[in-house]
Structures are given as structure tokens and as C-alpha cells.
Amino acid sequence: MGQFFVQQLSAAGHIVNILEQDNWSHAKQLLDGADLALICVPIECTQTIIRDITQYLSPTTALADITSVKAPIVQTMLACHSGPVMGLHPMFGPKVSSFQSQNIVVCPGRTDDAFQWLLELIKQEGGKLMICTPEEHDRMMITIQSLRHFVSFSLGIFLTDEGIDIQQSLELASPSYRELIDMTNRLFCQSGELVADIMLFTQERREAIVKLADTFNRLAQLAMHNDRESLIREFQSAQGVWAGLSS
């Protein structure tokens, strides 16, 4: 995702310096006078990088990140940097070519006006900004990311363990099954480290996964015991919620 932002900012005419592990000795030079420092690193090292990088930032430099966890990250930025702070979460992968029709979650931190030029750039390129607090973001991402990843991860492992011929299954498949396999395939095209971090980064995410697994087990036991009536009751108890959902 870092490379995507480099491309987009460069195409818009901005000068972009890239600080990586192999040029950390030049951090002061690369960050000197920067209008924006954008943290684009794996989740597990984001807070460490924030603590290390802020010693080189001017109080006027806007500091932001693009990780998928917001509350602890924004808190760390606010604690370590006296200047403008904002949490961003692009709701898309690095294979997209532009911001067009893509959602970007924006979590204000401090001095939002310093980021107005960046937000305007995203909107001008067709991006959709979704504003919420870091805490609201993280609550929703438990479902949107962690549980979804766990479901796809589990299905992928199951089909692999069972030796299912995925390609043959697609030849016989309905459109909805193809969508399910496509979502699972997209998960396994990512790095294992990223997928694991998204599922496990917070205690709340881990607890939600356990609850989901408990639900799977409860329903599986009903299926194992051929308890048709109980499965129907489970279905009907949830049907009202889903029936009122706009597609």
C-alpha cells in the first residue's frame, strides 16, 4: 500500500521521499521539512516506527498511518507527536490503480485542517471518505475484517485439507459460490503475516473469533444430530435482521 500512495502523491505533483529499513541513517535528511509523514508498515511494527520517527518530525509536520487498526495507533501518534495527527484506513488492496470508487476511513486525531489537501486529493480522484472515531472504526473492523478473514481462512484450510479440486468445483458452480471462492482466493494472495495480524492484533478481535467458532460448533452439532427443527429455528431467529437489510 505504501507504493500505491507513492504513485498517487507523485502523480499529483508532490515530492515523495521514502524511508525504509536500509536508509534509516538518512531519516533526518529525508524527513526534514516534510509536510506529511505517512506510516505504511506492517501492523506489528507500526507503533515502534511511530516512536522512532517522531523524533525527526517538525511540530508542523502532519503525521498519519494507513494500518487497519486505529485506536492504539492514533493514541501512539498523539502521544509521540505534538503536531497534526490523523488515522487513515484504505478499504482496498494494493492492486487497485487509483482512488476511484474506493472507500478510505478517516479517523481525526488533531489539527484536521493540516490534512485537508490530502483528503481533497483523494476526493478529486474519486475516493469516498468515511469519517469515524478510532474506537468506532476498530469495533466495526472486528466484523468487516477479522471475522471475514477468519471465515475465508477457515474455508481455504478446509478445502485444502479435504483435497477439493477447486477448479473443477468452479466449473459446476453457481455465481454465489464463485464469489465465495474469489473472496477466499484473494485472502490467500496476501501475505500470511498480514492476515494473521489482522485477525489477532487486539484482544477484542481474538475474542470475537472464538465466539464465531463457538457458533460454528453449536450449529455443526445440530447438523451432526440431524436436528432439522433446531436449525430452522436458528435460521428464523436471525431472518428478521437479514430480511430488513438493504442490498
Are 180 and 169 within 8 A, CB to CB?
no
**Confidence grade of residue 23 (pLDDT, cut at 50, 70, 90):** confident
What pLDDT does 243 receive? 82
Query: Quick one: 148 and 97 in the same domain?
Result: no
DSSP 91: S
Residue 48: pLDDT over 90: yes
- Among 89, 109, 132, give the residue marking a domain's end: 132
What's this model's pTM, rounded to 2 decimal places? 0.82
- What are the C-alpha distances in Å from 76 to residues 9, 41, 66, 117, 185? 25, 15, 14, 23, 34
Query: Quick one: 145 and 215 in the same domain?
Result: yes
Query: Quick one: 121 and 142 in the same domain?
Result: no
- Among 132, 152, 179, give the residue marking a domain's end: 132
Query: Quick one: 214 and 168 in the same domain?
Result: yes
Over residues 212-237, the mean pLDDT reads 96
Can you say how many angstroms the Cα of residue 125 is from the centroid of all Cα atoms in its chain? 21
What's the CA gap between 122 and 118, in Å, rounded? 6
**Confidence grade of residue 202 (pLDDT, cut at 50, 70, 90):** confident
Residue 97: Cβ-neighbour burial (10 angstroms; 0-12, 13-18, 19+): exposed
What pLDDT does 1 receive? 85
Note whether residue 155 is domain-resident: yes
Note whether residue 27 is domain-resident: yes
The residue among 125, 121, 124, 13 whose CA lies nearest residue 64 is: 121
Three-state secondary structure call for residue 110: strand
**Confidence grade of residue 138 (pLDDT, cut at 50, 70, 90):** very high
Q: Residue 84: what are its φ and ψ, rounded to 5°?
A: -60, 140
What pLDDT does 241 receive? 85
Query: Quick one: 155 and 83 in the same domain?
Result: no
**Percentage of the chain with pLDDT > 70?**
99
Query: Quick one: 204 and 224 in the same domain?
Result: yes
Note whether residue 243 is domain-resident: no
Query: Quick one: 21 and 113 in the same domain?
Result: yes
The mean pLDDT of the chain is 93
**Confidence grade of residue 232 (pLDDT, cut at 50, 70, 90):** very high
Over residues 32-52, the mean pLDDT reads 93
Over residues 124-146, the mean pLDDT reads 94
* Count of structural domains, the chain: 2
Note whether residue 103 is domain-resident: yes
What pLDDT does 195 receive? 92
**Confidence grade of residue 176 (pLDDT, cut at 50, 70, 90):** very high
- Among 82, 102, 132, give the residue marking a domain's end: 132
Tell me the pLDDT tens digit for each residue of 59-70: 999 999 999 899
Query: Quick one: 123 and 147 in the same domain?
Result: no
The sign of the CA dihedral 224, 230, 234, 239 is positive
What pLDDT does 247 receive? 56
What pLDDT does 13 receive? 93
The domain in which residue 165 lies consists of: 137-238
Over residues 94-116, the mean pLDDT reads 93
CATH number at residue 36: 3.40.50.720
Q: Residue 95: what are its φ and ψ, rounded to 5°?
A: -80, -10
